Amino acid sequence: MGSDEMSTNKSNPELNMACYSLDDWYKGCMASTESHLTALIQNELSFSKQYNEAWNQVLILWQTNQSWLNPRNVTELSEVAIWAYTIESPPLHRAFNAATCTAGKGPEEYGHYPFKSLHFLLTRTSRLRRPKNHKCAKVYRGVSVEFSVRNHFRFGQFTSTSLDQNMAKKFQSVTFFKLFTCKGIEISEMSIFEYEEEVLVPLYEIFNITSIKDTSKGKMVVAKSMGTCSFHNCAFMGKGNTACPEHQGAWGYGEHYFSGVNGCRAFLQDFLFIVHFFT
């Protein structure tokens, strides 16, 4: 759950709607995407040295707890994916998150995105492992980056947090997040580091900032979940883009369908107008 997951070359990156992020949630195409998964994983492992190293390293660890050598289904592949994502060395999460933040910019960026299989497995896990009662949770995250912020934002990448405030503070050097997530999933039993009480927040969850405080140890940002928003859907199957009907519905907003980056920008403009109108 290292704080370097959101490191950037910018001195004060902005927390916003992350319009370039690949926020595909595979609605209506999980089964068809799964049918291509084995071949896709093998292709991407041969292309990315870091992905291959992380995957095979955790596969050996995974095999010690099994009586068989290889994952037999998509659920077991997801377990290996979570381990590969949370392992510290090689730091696959850094390359994966950096690429995910821009893979939704356009067809060329998506075509060169080398982690389609990992993205699918993490998204599938985040959608299918949520508790049936949809209980929200208070989670924490410390990072070594100072952000400029809007009132509403998405992380634009899968974001590791902890149920343990003291654990999260070990990673803080600049900014500390206190989040109320309704879409995050607890992955402690699937993570390399079970003791961190890790909760993985999906990149498509929208947060509303309720307070920002300067403390002796840095800045504290408190934010609450407002729903979800995805501008891409089933890109791997060539089905294109979608809008944010779930979140729009929460505001009583019409079923206006945008697409990709332009849709994100258009939605953001209208969304901020609505927020301003009602506040």
Q: Find the Cα–Cα–Cα–Cα dihedral 223, 229, 234, 239, rounded to 10°.
A: -160
Q: Does 88 participate in catalysis according to the annotation?
A: no
d(CA 214, CA 204): 27
- Give yes or no: 198 in active site: yes
- Both tokens assigned to 161: 């947090």
Q: Is 14 a catalytic residue?
A: no
The catalytic residue among 160, 162, 225, 230 is: 160
Which of 191, 198, 225, 230 is the catalytic position?
A: 198
H-only helix segments in the chain: 30-34, 37-47, 49-63, 74-86, 92-100, 107-111, 116-128, 165-169, 245-250, 260-278
Instruction: Choose the catalytic residue: 48, 78, 141, 205.
Output: 141
The candidate with the shortest Cα–Cα distance to 118, out of 139, 147, 92, is 92
Q: Is 183 within 8 Å of 205 (Cβ atoms)?
A: yes
Contact assessment for residue 207 and residue 223, using Cβ atoms and an 8 Å cutoff = yes
Using DSSP's 3-state secondary structure scheme, residue 202 falls into: coil
Query: Which residues are annotated as catalytic?
Result: 141, 160, 198
